[in-house]
Amino acid sequence: MSVLADLATPIVMGILLGGLYAVIALGLSLIFGVVKEINIAHGDLVILGSYFGYVAMSVVGIDPILSLIVGIPLLFGIGFGIQKYLLNRAFKISMDATLIIAFGISIILQNIFQLIWTPMCRGLTTSYALESFSAGPISVPLVYLLDFIVAIIVMLFLREFLRRTYLGMAIRAAAQDWRAAHLMGINTNQVFALTFGIATALAAIAGIFLGLTFPFTPVSGMSFLIIALGVVVLGGLGSIAGTFIGGIAFGLAQTLGGHFFGLAAQMLVAYTMVLVVLAVIPRGIFGR
Amino acid sequence: MIPIIGIMVVLALFPVIGVPRVWLLYLFLFYIYLAMANMWNLLAGYSGLISLCPAAFIGLAGYTMTVMTWLGFPYYVGIIPGGIVAALFAVLISIPVFRMKGIYFAIGTLVVPEILRFVFLLWRPVGGALDGGGRGYTVLGVAEVPQSQTYWFALAIGIVSILVMRYILRSKLGSGLAAIRDNDSTAACCGVNVFKLKLYSFVIAAFVTGIAGAIFYIYQGFIEPVSAFSIQWLITIMLATVIGGEGTEEGPIVGTIIVVFLYFLLARYAEISLIIQGIILVIIMLLAPKGILGFLHNFHRLVPASLKVIGNSLKTTK
């Protein structure tokens, strides 16, 4: 009985953490499903969101979640620009070229962060970031619950957007068969750029909540990218529900890994799971 | 052939004839990065395997060599075992990693050095626990080693890497790899054993890269997990290969010269140096995806043609 109670906290925390991982992975999943690119720079774009929140908090004094009002359009614009001017061109050259260019963007971002904000750990420490709430015998940090709620909101939003708006349907068409979509009069280059913009806007949201949950450094992007890749591959390309389940799976892997093998090993467990997932199910649970 | 041997002899004599020590350092790094870039080129340019895990082989070989010095062996004994451990590791991870196609392979190889970094942060193969954290080892017995010896080891592996590339590209393995790079399903239909050839080049690349890494750590004198498995290795190697020309034999040589030059030019401005490297990577891939050598290959066809056009137009205006 006590074993079960012991496990309850890591399990609950793992599920809630999974919400955060799902939001982080959502942008990546969108790009992968629609544009068929693996955006290696996605992790760093998320951290860009985190640093934006940091600037909003420390320089301007606004609550990071409020700063999203500016953050979302800003990162949307950046993502749109990246796809439109860099990656659309790379696409025509080769698949390898897009990978290498995304890698280059990742390096540039990481070192800009390092230049401006130094390698020191930063965090979005608002007043509520340190509170926890209890339900019965379990006590979890409040931000974990926020992460989970935000994940659900964002996913519902995205699903409705993709289903009901013209752009959403254009995106889904381009994802299914971009040549056919092109023939149907959809400007696929524009759609790809808009998709990347949306994905980066999602990264902005993810970044803020990541910053509230964990401390981050200029190189944190890579760690979260790897987990996001695992989530995307596990959940299946372009499936929102799959990404959610994948996120929870990785959240649980991390917290339970930490519970059984010690805190130092928790990322190791998560990364090993990524490798296993990549080797065993490249198509994912819900994938096409 | 003769001029090349001549160059090699001259380079080998540099430590003896009293060349400035800084030159030896530049050249040392050049040989090490050249060996690694050649191997990355073998995988990415000729086998169609964009491997993002050179750091795994470098770190493992470095640790093997270092651990062996702790077990009482002189430093040079550990170099070959370092390469062997890296090669064995390549065989081991080829089982999961080769199941992944194309882009998934790249992601899979990206994760491997990160996993190894955690492993070596937690595991201490020899020596007692260190107080105050820190997970590194000093390499025993290298303090008195003269710079010329490490220089010659590096020169050796640099030359070996060039010879390996020459030999492979002119062999059946090379033709098979070219077929795989262009289209691996078609290659398989033509009787090419895709898995076996990919494995061969992966293991060879791991071995040579590992040895280069081990030699590097002899020079550096200490090894620790974060820098040993850092993505920085990949950045440097990828940049060198891509600038010079992925898929060309001389490309890595040209690219490595440029990268080492940049490294020392901007050594004082660490973050800006890396930002510039990232920008160069992006610009090169957009404007000259085949690198400098690729650009030149096209250029020497353009020049006579453009001269002809200019000549014709001058004739008609007369």
Span B71-97, pLDDT tens digits: 888 888 888 999 999 999 999 988 888
Instruction: Report chain B residues whose CB lies below 8 A from the CB of A102.
Output: none
Nearest to B286 among A38, A40, A89 (CB): A89
Q: Give phi and psi for A285, each to the nearest 5.
A: -75, -50
Of the pLDDT bands very low, low, confident and very high (cuts 50, 70, 90), residue B306 is low
The pLDDT score that the predictor gives to residue B132 is 40
Q: How far apart are CA B239 and CA B243, in angstroms?
A: 6
Whether residue B255 is found in the same domain as residue B235: yes
Whether residue B163 is found in the same domain as residue B307: no
Contact check, Cβ <8 Å, A275/B231: no
ipTM > 0.90 (yes/no):
no
In contact, B15 and B148? CB cutoff 8 Å: yes
For residue B163, give its domain range: 2-287
DSSP H helices in A56-165? 64-81, 88-93, 95-117, 142-164
Counted domains in chain B? 2
Instruction: Report chain A residues whose CB lies below 8 A from the CB of B278.
Output: 104-108, 111
Test mutation, A92, A100, A261, A266, chain B, max B CBs within 10 A: A100
pLDDT mean over B290-294: 81
Q: How far apart are CA A272 and CA B91, in angstroms?
A: 17
Torsion, Cα B100 B106 B107 B110, to 10 degrees, reads 130
Q: How far apart are CA B176 and CA A4, in angstroms?
A: 56
Alpha carbon of A135: minimum distance to chain B alpha carbons (Å)? 34
Of the pLDDT bands very low, low, confident and very high (cuts 50, 70, 90), residue A69 is confident
Domains of chain A, each with CATH number or no CATH = 2-123+135-280 (1.10.3470)
Whether residue B47 is found in the same domain as residue B90: yes
The pLDDT score that the predictor gives to residue B203 is 94
Whether residue B283 is found in the same domain as residue B296: no
Of the pLDDT bands very low, low, confident and very high (cuts 50, 70, 90), residue B316 is low
In contact, A21 and A210? CB cutoff 8 Å: no
Whether residue B197 is found in the same domain as residue B302: no
Kindly report, residue by residue over A174-215, the tens digit of the pLDDT.
888 878 888 888 888 888 899 999 999 999 999 999 998 888
Nearest to B242 among A100, A107, A268 (CB): A100
Whether residue B280 is found in the same domain as residue B316: no
What share of chain B has pLDDT > 90, as a percent? 28
Whether residue B51 is found in the same domain as residue B158: yes
In contact, A9 and A139? CB cutoff 8 Å: yes
pLDDT mean over A237-254: 88
Whether residue B203 is found in the same domain as residue B277: yes
Which is more confidently placed, A37 or A226? A226
Of the pLDDT bands very low, low, confident and very high (cuts 50, 70, 90), residue A48 is very high
Q: Identify the burial level of A250 via C-beta atoms within 10 angstroms of its C-beta, where 0-12 means exposed, 13-18 middle and 19 or more buried.
A: buried
Instruction: Report chain B residues whose CB lies below 8 A from the CB of A274.
Output: 111
CATH number, position B276: 1.10.3470
The pLDDT score that the predictor gives to residue B307 is 66
Residues of B numbered 113-142 whose beta carbons fall under 8 angstroms of chain A's beta carbons: which are they?
A: 114-115, 118-119, 121-122
Q: How far apart are CA B138 and CA B19, in angstroms?
A: 29
pLDDT(A286) > 70 = no
- CA triple B121-B127-B130, angle to 5 deg: 55
The pLDDT score that the predictor gives to residue B172 is 84
Kindly report, residue by residue over B192-208, the tens digit of the pLDDT.
788 888 899 999 999 99
Q: Give phi and psi for A141, each to the nearest 5.
A: -60, 145
pLDDT(B58) > 60 = yes
CA atoms within 13 A on the CB side of B251: 34
The predicted model scores a pTM of 0.86
Kindly report, residue by residue over B6-16, the tens digit of the pLDDT.
787 788 877 77
Whether B249 has its CB under 8 Å from any CB of chain A: the answer is: no
Question: What's the mean per-residue pLDDT of chain B?
Answer: 84
Instruction: Report chain A residues whose CB lies below 8 A from the CB of B259.
Output: none
Of the pLDDT bands very low, low, confident and very high (cuts 50, 70, 90), residue B211 is very high
Instruction: Report chain A residues whose CB lies below 8 A from the CB of B44.
Output: 96
Nearest to A108 among B104, B278, B285 (CB): B278
Q: How far apart are CA B196 and CA A64, in angstroms?
A: 53
The pLDDT score that the predictor gives to residue B185 is 78
The pLDDT score that the predictor gives to residue B20 is 80
The pLDDT score that the predictor gives to residue B53 is 92
Of the pLDDT bands very low, low, confident and very high (cuts 50, 70, 90), residue A3 is low
pLDDT(A2) > 80 = no
Whether residue B283 is found in the same domain as residue B299: no
Whether residue B231 is found in the same domain as residue B161: yes
Whether residue B310 is found in the same domain as residue B261: no
pLDDT(A102) > 80 = yes
Distance of CA B222 to the CA centre of its chain: 20
What share of chain A has pLDDT > 70, as a percent? 95
- CA triple B280-B34-B244, angle to 5 deg: 35
Range in A18-27, B2-11, B278-287 with the lowest mean pLDDT: B2-11
Whether residue B32 is found in the same domain as residue B128: yes
pLDDT mean over B272-288: 88
pLDDT(B171) > 60 = yes
Of the pLDDT bands very low, low, confident and very high (cuts 50, 70, 90), residue A288 is very low
The pLDDT score that the predictor gives to residue A258 is 85
Q: Which residues pair with A135 in a beta bridge?
A: A138
Range in A74-78, A89-93, A202-206 with the lowest mean pLDDT: A89-93
